[in-house]
């Protein structure tokens, strides 16, 4: 398979940051959900 042409650097920057922020957001949301389940179960 032929190598894909690299994207414009700015596009790579934006994509890299976006993925990291989405990942971190997902991690925090997952943590919050699990904690909410525990709090709800105890209440």
Partner 1 sequence: MSVILRPGADDLRLIGFYLGRVLLGLGLVMLVPTGVAVAAGEWNSASAFVVGASLCVIIGAASDAKLATRRSLTWAHGMVITALAWVIGAIFAGIPMYLSGRFDSPLDALFEGMSALTTTGMSVIHDLDHTPLSEDLYRHLLQFVGGQGIVIVVLSLFAAGGARIASLYTSEAREERILPNFIRAARFILLVAGTFLVLGTAALFVALLVAGFEPGRAFYHAINLFFASFDTGGFSVMQSSMMYYHSLSVEIVVMVLMIAGTISFGLHFALWRGNPRELLRHLESRTLAATSLVFLVVLCFGLLYAGTYSDLESMFRKGLFTLVSAVTSTGHQVNVGDTYLTDWGVMAPAAIVGAMAIGGMASSTAGGIKAMRVGLAIKTLFHDIRRILLPESAVQVTTYHAGGRRRILRDETSRAATTVLLLFIVTYLIGAMAALAYGEHDITQTLFEAVSVGSNIGISIGVVSPEMPNGLMGIYIVMMWLGRLEFVAVFALLGYLVSLARGRAKA
List residues near partner 1 by CB under 8 A.
6-7, 12-13, 15-17, 19-21, 23-25, 27-28, 31-32, 34-36, 38-39, 42-43
User: In angstroms, what is the minimal distance from the CB of 35 to partner 1?
Assistant: 5
User: In angstroms, what is the minimal distance from the CB of 29 to partner 1?
Assistant: 11
Compute the distance between CA of residue 10 and CA of residue 12 in angstroms, rounded to an integer.
5
Q: Are 32 and 38 in contact (CB under 8 A)?
A: no
User: In angstroms, what is the minimal distance from the CB of 1 to partner 1?
Assistant: 14
Q: Are 6 and 12 in contact (CB under 8 A)?
A: yes
């Amino acid at each position: 398979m032929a190598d894909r042409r690299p994207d414009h650097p700015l596009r790579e920057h934006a994509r890299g940051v976006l993925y990291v922020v989405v990942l971190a957001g997902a991690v925090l949301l997952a943590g919050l959900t699990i904690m909410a389940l525990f709090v709800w179960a105890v209440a």
